[in-house]
């Protein structure tokens, strides 16, 4: 309701400092829960879990969005955009641990997986244009104009080099 009034900008300025404080408090509290030595000792499981979550969530979300009639390209972009585990997982993990539904080591691994998937979100967002362009070059997606734009071999090789360097 406030956003439609003349005081919207002023109210946002007043609330923004409190919002930043709560974000910092949230991130600090999550940082205190994570045992880095344990995660470093199990980095292989942690990375495999994060990759598995991102791939499975991307595929499931892409399929759901595609079933609503959107293009494969749009569905894929949405799937990648929503591939991380949300912050609410921290609350669920806390409650599950409190009620002894998961053990200590599993709790720490799931906590690390959630945190690492959130950290990888900006990287995924940066890779979306590159992956989309690669999808167009590999003909997984139609071109933006709807007409297949044939690129010279030199440009295709350059795009693939950029993609390989990004990974």
Q: What is the pLDDT of residues 96-136, one digit of tens each?
A: 989 999 988 999 999 999 999 988 999 999 998 898 888 88
Domain of residue 110, residue span: 10-140
- Please report whether residue 2 resides in a domain: no
Q: Does some domain include residue 18? A: yes
Mean pLDDT in residue range 7-19: 80
Residue 151 domain flag: no
Residue 82 lies in a domain: yes
Q: Is residue 4 part of a domain?
A: no
Confirm whether 91 is domain-assigned.
Answer: yes
Q: Which of 12-21, 44-53, 110-119, 151-160 has the lowest mean pLDDT?
A: 151-160
pLDDT of residue 150 exceeding 50, the answer is no
Q: Is residue 58 part of a domain?
A: yes
Q: HSE (CB half, 13 Å, CA atoms) of 28?
A: 6
Higher pLDDT, 132 or 31: 132
Provide the domain count of the chain: 1
In 79-126, at which residue ranges do the beta strands (DSSP E only) sit? none
């Amino acid at each position: 309701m406030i956003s439609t009034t003349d005081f919207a900008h002023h109210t946002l300025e007043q609330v923004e400092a409190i919002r930043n404080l709560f974000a910092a408090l949230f991130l600090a509290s999550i940082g205190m829960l994570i045992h880095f030595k344990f995660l470093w000792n199990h980095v292989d499981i942690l990375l495999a879990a994060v990759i598995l979550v991102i791939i499975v969530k991307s595929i499931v979300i892409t399929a759901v969005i595609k079933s609503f009639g959107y293009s494969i390209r749009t569905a894929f972009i949405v799937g990648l955009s929503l591939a991380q585990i949300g912050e609410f997982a921290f609350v669920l993990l806390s409650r599950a641990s409190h009620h002894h539904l998961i053990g200590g080591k599993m709790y720490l691994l799931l906590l690390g997986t959630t945190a690492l998937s959130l950290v990888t979100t900006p990287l995924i967002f940066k890779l979306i244009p590159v992956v989309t362009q690669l999808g167009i070059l590999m003909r997984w997606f139609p071109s933006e104009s709807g007409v297949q734009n044939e690129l010279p071999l030199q440009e295709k090789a350059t795009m693939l080099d950029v993609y390989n360097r990004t990974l």
